C-alpha cells in the first residue's frame, strides 16, 4: 500500500492505542477510583485488550495464549488465573468499548475517504436476537424466551446502525428483549448526521420514527407493509410506479410525537413501486423527492443495499461467535458484545485498502473479487494484540494486507437461495469450550 494509506492506518492504530493507555480513559471507565490504582499484571489496558482479542475458547487457555503473545514466549505458561481475570473484568465499565468504537468510527469519517451513495451516507438499521448465558441474574436483566418445549432461555435484543457501503457499525446496542426494535432505532438517531439516508425494513416504519429522523435533518427510505398502510394500499391499487403523498399521524402517533417533542405535521414522502422477480410488490417510502436527480430505477438497487447489515449479523454470530460468552454476568455480556463490535469494525476498516486494490485488479476478469472476510477475522486473533502493543505497526499492517490480497473470492451477482426458516441454531455450552 502507498504511504498515504499506511500513514492513515498508523494514525488510526496510534489514536486507539493512546486512548486505551490514557489515565483519563481509565478514570472514565473503571468502576471506582480505588481499582486499577496499583501496578499489577492485569492492568486496565491489558484486561480491555484481552476482551478485544476475539475470546471464544476455554478461558484459562485463552489467558495463557494471550500472555504468550504479550511476553513473546514459545510455550504458553500460567501468568494469571481465570478467577483473577474474572474479578478484574468486573471493574471495567462496558462503555469503554463503546467509546473506543466511537473514536475509530469518527477517525475514519474525518480522516478517511468513506464511500457515499449520491453524496449521502447510507445507514441501515436492523435488529436480531441473541442467546445469553442461562443464569438467574442474566435472565432477570435481559428477559427469557419461552419455547414450546424445554426450559426457558435468556435472550437479548440486538440492534445496530450499519454503514452498508463501508461495512462498519456506526452504533450498536444490546438490550433487554422487552425493548422494541423501533425504540432501539430511535436510540441510534443520536449518531445520525444531516444528509444521512436511513434504510429500514418493514418492521420499522412508524410516523413518530419518521418524524424523529427528520428532526435530525436526515432522510429515510423504508419498506411499508401494504396491509398496514392505507396510502400504500391505494398506491398499489393505482398501478403507478411512483407518486408523492402526505403521511398523517393517527391518534397514537400524535401522542408519541408529543411525548418525544416531535413535530406532528404531515410528512411528504415519495412512494415507489418495486416488483420482485417472484412477482411480489414492495412499496418504498422515501423523503428523497427529487425525481430528476434520483429516478425510480435507482431505488430497487438502493433497498437491496441494506442486505450487508443482515450479513453482518452472520459475521457477529457465526464468525466472531459473539454468543459464545466467556463470562456469565450481565456486565460480561455487555463487555463482550461491544468488544466484538469494536474488533469487527477495526477488521472492516483494515480491509478497505486491500479491497480497493482487489477491485482494481479484477476489472479485467470475468467476475469482480472481494477479500475473504472469514479468513481475515481469523487472522485478527492475536494480530489485534500486536497492533495495539508493538511499536513497529507499519510492517505488521503491510504483512496483513498482503495476506488479504492472497485470499480472495469471486462475487457472483444474481444468486438467490430460499431462506431456511427452521435452521437449528448453533449453541455454545459454557462447560464444553473448544480448545485451539
In a domain, 284, yes or no: yes
C-alpha cell at 294: 434520483
For residues 374-398, give the mean pLDDT.
94
Kindly compute the dihedral angle of the four CA atoms of residues 223, 224, 227, 232, in this order, to the nearest 10 degrees.
Answer: -120
Count of structural domains, the chain = 1
Kindly compute the dihedral angle of the four CA atoms of residues 414, 304, 368, 349, in this order, to the nearest 10 degrees.
Answer: -150
For residues 414-420, give the mean pLDDT.
63
Taking each helix axis from N to C terminus, what angle separates 330-361 and 95-111, rounded to the nearest 10 degrees? 20
In a domain, 282, yes or no: yes
Confidence of residue 391 (pLDDT cuts 50, 70, 90): confident
Quick check: 262 pLDDT over 90? Answer: yes
Q: Percent of the chain having pLDDT more than 90?
A: 81
Let me know: does 131 contact 323? Beta carbons within 8 Å: yes
pLDDT at site 38: 85
Quick check: 417 pLDDT over 80? Answer: no
In a domain, 263, yes or no: yes
- What residues make up the domain containing 251? 202-293
Quick check: 254 pLDDT over 70? Answer: yes
DSSP 238: H
Which residue(s) pair with 145 in the sheet? 153
pLDDT at site 415: 64
| Cα–Cα distance for residue pair 222/203, rounded to 1 Å | 9
Confidence of residue 427 (pLDDT cuts 50, 70, 90): confident
In a domain, 240, yes or no: yes
User: Could you report how far apart the first and last alpha carbons of the chain are, in Å?
Assistant: 32
In a domain, 88, yes or no: no
Quick check: 322 pLDDT over 80? Answer: yes
**pTM of the entire predicted model:** 0.94
- Please classify residue 6 by burial: count the beta carbons closer than 10 Å to its beta carbon, then call 0-12 exposed, 13-18 middle and 19+ buried: middle
In a domain, 222, yes or no: yes
Could you read off the pLDDT of 232-253 as tens digits, one per residue? Answer: 999 999 999 999 999 999 999 9
In a domain, 117, yes or no: no
Q: Percent of the chain having pLDDT more than 70?
A: 96
In a domain, 372, yes or no: no
Let me know: does 216 contact 189? Beta carbons within 8 Å: yes
Could you read off the pLDDT of 119-166 as tens digits, one per residue? Answer: 999 999 999 999 999 999 999 999 998 877 777 899 999 999 999 999
For residues 172-178, give the mean pLDDT.
97
| Cα–Cα distance for residue pair 63/69, rounded to 1 Å | 10
Among residues 289, 214, 301, the alpha carbon closest in space to that of 249 is found at 214
Amino acid at each position: 500500500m502507498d504511504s498515504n494509506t499506511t500513514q492513515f492506518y498508523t494514525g488510526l492504530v496510534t489514536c486507539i492505542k493512546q486512548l486505551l493507555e490514557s489515565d483519563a480513559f481509565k478514570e472514565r471507565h473503571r468502576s471506582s477510583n480505588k481499582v486499577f490504582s496499583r501496578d499489577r499484571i492485569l492492568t486496565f489496558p491489558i484486561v480491555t485488550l484481552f476482551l478485544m482479542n476475539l475470546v471464544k475458547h476455554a478461558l484459562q487457555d485463552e489467558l495463557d495464549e494471550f500472555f504468550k503473545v504479550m511476553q513473546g514466549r514459545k510455550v504458553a505458561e500460567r501468568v494469571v488465573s481465570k478467577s483473577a481475570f474474572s474479578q478484574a473484568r468486573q471493574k471495567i465499565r462496558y462503555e469503554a468499548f463503546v467509546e473506543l468504537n466511537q473514536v475509530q468510527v469518527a477517525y475514519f469519517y474525518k480522516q478517511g475517504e468513506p464511500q457515499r451513495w449520491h453524496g449521502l451516507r447510507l445507514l441501515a438499521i436492523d435488529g436480531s436476537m441473541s442467546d445469553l448465558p442461562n443464569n438467574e441474574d442474566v435472565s432477570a436483566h435481559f428477559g427469557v424466551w419461552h419455547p414450546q418445549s424445554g426450559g426457558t432461555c435468556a435472550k437479548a435484543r440486538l440492534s445496530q446502525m450499519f454503514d452498508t457501503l463501508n461495512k462498519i457499525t456506526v452504533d450498536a446496542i444490546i438490550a433487554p428483549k422487552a425493548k422494541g426494535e423501533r425504540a432501539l432505532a430511535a436510540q441510534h438517531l443520536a449518531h445520525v448526521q444531516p444528509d444521512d439516508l436511513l434504510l429500514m425494513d418493514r418492521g420499522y416504519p412508524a410516523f413518530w420514527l419518521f418524524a424523529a429522523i427528520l428532526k435530525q435533518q436526515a432522510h429515510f427510505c423504508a419498506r411499508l407493509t401494504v396491509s398496514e398502510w392505507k396510502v400504500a394500499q391505494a398506491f398499489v391499487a393505482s398501478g403507478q410506479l411512483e407518486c408523492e403523498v402526505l403521511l398523517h399521524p393517527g391518534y397514537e402517533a400524535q401522542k408519541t410525537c408529543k411525548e418525544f417533542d416531535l413535530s406532528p405535521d404531515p410528512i411528504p414522502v415519495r412512494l415507489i413501486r418495486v416488483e420482485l422477480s417472484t412477482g411480489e410488490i414492495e412499496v418504498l417510502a422515501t423523503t428523497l423527492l427529487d425525481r430528476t436527480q434520483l429516478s425510480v430505477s435507482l431505488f430497487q438497487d438502493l433497498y437491496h443495499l441494506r442486505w450487508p447489515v443482515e450479513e453482518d449479523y452472520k459475521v457477529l454470530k457465526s464468525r466472531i461467535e459473539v454468543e459464545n460468552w466467556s463470562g456469565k454476568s450481565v456486565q460480561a455480556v455487555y463487555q463482550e458484545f461491544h468488544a466484538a463490535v469494536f474488533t469487527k469494525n477495526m477488521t472492516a476498516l483494515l480491509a478497505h485498502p486491500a479491497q480497493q486494490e482487489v477491485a482494481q485488479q479484477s476489472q479485467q476478469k470475468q467476475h469482480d473479487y472481494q477479500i475473504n472476510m472469514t479468513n481475515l477475522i481469523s487472522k485478527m486473533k492475536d494480530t489485534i494484540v500486536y497492533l495495539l502493543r508493538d511499536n513497529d505497526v507499519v510492517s505488521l499492517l503491510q504483512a496483513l494486507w498482503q495476506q488479504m490480497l492472497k485470499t480472495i473470492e469471486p462475487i457472483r451477482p444474481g444468486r438467490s437461495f430460499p431462506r431456511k426458516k427452521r435452521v437449528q441454531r448453533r449453541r455454545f455450552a459454557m462447560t464444553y469450550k473448544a480448545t485451539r
